[in-house]
Every structure is written in structure tokens, then in C-alpha cells.
Amino acid sequence: MTRSLATRLRSRPRVRATLVAALAATLAGCWSPTPPTPGGSFRFAVFGDGPYYGHENGRAERVIDALNARPLAFVIHVGDIMWQRCTDAAYRKRRELIETIRHPVVYTPGDNEWLDCVDIRRSDDPLDRLASLRATFFSPADRSLGKTPLDLESQSSDPAHAEFVENARWSHGGVTFVTIHIVGSANGGRPFRGRTSRHDEEVARRTQAAVDWLHDSFQAAGAADAAAVVVALHANPSYAPSSAEHAPYAPIEDSLVELAKRFGKPVLVIHGDEHRYTIDRPFKDPVTGAPVPNMQRLETFGSPHIGWVDVVVDTALAEPFRFEPNVTPRWMWW
């Protein structure tokens, strides 16, 4: 009778060692457990848009294990922390998972966790979900998530913008980092049953707050003589399959282009939502139509590709951002 694979491997150490070495080589191709960081530079990680489904949870946990093993200044989460779960308990569970990351984690919301909840449970009002999300993830507003929280400057410290606890700013290594709450699903503008003027007003307030925060943050970066600015949000601000579909994001893209041109130093825009790892320069000068030379875009991975991107920053270089993509391997069905 044929022996089981496990029995054969136990009886053949050389075969077992070869398979273990092959697995280790495969994993090394997905990420380096101790990546080098050049002297005088620093590294941070970006992830988002997952896990969505139960079979992705194992890979999400391996992402966190990998992040915890890396020399990171902090981690940025660009939103969509879940899919098809819009309860307070689900929020708390996801926060508990994020809190297992040993680095500071700065999170900006996506549409899945509040705006799209009306698609899952017809009784949910997105504005109620947003209030609960803010209470769960942004209290206090001036501290990041993660085991070693980072002090943040929150837009909510301004009484005129007290509502927007999620819009944050911090500095590291001579670089100014900014988060703004702009999401997919037309940035909250698409129709749904039960939509009222309250929902329209929320979109207008949130978008204007993001524009105001961008202006304030670029002004702060200029005053601090920052070497670069990094802006993180959920949605792609240059999303433009048509003029109508671009309209919800036009105020953000226009502000980013205007402010980046005025700033004159490198600007990196980070987002998720479309789930495609992308490095490019999509932002155009409205006068010449040419790409704005000091602006770059990073879109991180998303479900079904559960992974993250390391960004290595060296402000001594003319191009200060270097990108290292990492995807957790699928082991059979998980």
C-alpha cells in the first residue's frame, strides 16, 4: 500500500529539507523579512481594501506579521477595512486587529465601512454608520492607532471643522503627511433609497473640509520648509471615466494640482479603492495638459490581492520615494 506523503517526508529528511527551502525561497520572493533602509532615510507601509472575505483573513494576519517584523516609522491604512459588515461589533473587531500592529497606524475611512452599508442592510443610514465609525476609530482624534500611537494634528481641533476627526496631519523626517476623507462610490453622491438633503449636505461639508485641510496642510508644510508632502485618501482623486463621474473628485484633484505646483517640491498622493497596484503621474496641468512633474501617485493593493507597499523615503534625492510592493502568497484556498 502506498505510504502517505507525510510518512514519506518524515522518513526522508533530505526531501523535507528541500521542500522547506523551496517554500522559504517562494516567500522571500514576496517580501524581504528584514529590508535594508539606507542611512538618513526612513520607511513606511501602505495597505487597504481588505480583507473582505473570510478566506482572506489568514493572509491579512500574515501581512500584519510581516509589518511587525519590519523597521517602519508608521503604517497608513487607506480605508475599506471590511465588506458586507456594518455593525458596531464589526468595527470593534477590525480595530482590535489593527491594534495588533506594533507601529503607529494612521487610518482614513473608505466607503465600504459606512457609505455602502445601505446596500447591505436596507435599514442602515450611512450617516449613522459614519458617526459610529468616527466614535470607534478616532477617539481620541489626536492619536493614531497601533501599539505605539503617534501624536497627530486633527482638523477637528478647529471649531469650524470639529466634525472631521478623521482628517489628520503629522511630520516625519522632514516630510509632511496628510489624510483627507474622500471615498469611492462617487464620494457619497450616488443615489440610494432613503437619500435626503442631509446626505447631500454631508458630502458638501466633507469635501469642503478636505479642500480646507489640504490648503492648511500645504501652508504648514511650506512654513516648516518640508522637503515633500504625502497626501493619503481612499478614492482616486483623478478618477475620470467621464466628466460626470469625475465631478465628485474634481475639487480635490484641482486643489492638489494647484497646491503642488505652488509648493514646488515632491508631492506623493496615496489611495486605494480600485485595488490595482499602480505607480504613475496622472495629475495634469490644467493650462498645458502636461503631467505636473513634482506629483506622483501610489495606489496600493486590494482584495483579492492582500498585500501592502513599503515606501522608502530619502529626502536627499531629487526623487525621494522608492516603492517596494509586497503580496502575501495564497496557500491553497487561504
- Write the pLDDT tens digit of every residue in 239-266: 999 999 999 999 999 999 999 999 999 9
DSSP 254-267: HHHHHHHHHH-S-E
Domains and CATH numbers, the chain: 36-327 (3.60.21.70)
How many whole angstroms separate alpha carbon 11 and alpha carbon 153? 60
Three-state secondary structure call for residue 216: helix
- Give the pLDDT confidence score for residue 24 in this predicted structure: 35
Q: What is the 3-state secondary structure (H, E, C) of 295-321?
A: EEEEECCCCCCCEEEEEEECCCCCCCE
DSSP codes, 18-52: HHHHHHHHHHHHH--SS----TT-EEEEEE-S---
Question: What pLDDT is recorded for position 8?
Answer: 31
- Averaged over successive runs of 10 residues, the pLDDT of the chain (334 residues) comes to 33 33 37 66 97 91 96 98 90 96 98 90 86 97 98 98 98 98 96 94 98 98 98 98 96 98 98 97 96 98 96 97 91 50
**Residue 247: other Cβ atoms inside 10 A:** 13
pLDDT single digits (tens) 279-305: 999 999 999 999 999 999 999 999 999
Nearest to 311 by CA among 275, 266, 261, 273: 266
C-alpha cell at position 246: 469625475
What distance in Å separates the CA atoms of residue 25 and residue 315, rounded to the nearest whole number?
A: 33
pTM: 0.89
Task: Identify the pLDDT of residue 17.
Answer: 32
| 3 state SS of 217 | helix
CA-to-CA distance for 330 and 56, rounded, in angstroms? 9
Rounded alpha-carbon distances, angstroms, from residue 80 to 30, 58, 143, 303:
23, 17, 20, 10
Spatial distance between the Cα atoms of 326 and 137, rounded to a whole number of angstroms: 26
Residue 119 has a pLDDT of 79
CA atoms of 243 and 248, how far apart (whole Å)? 10
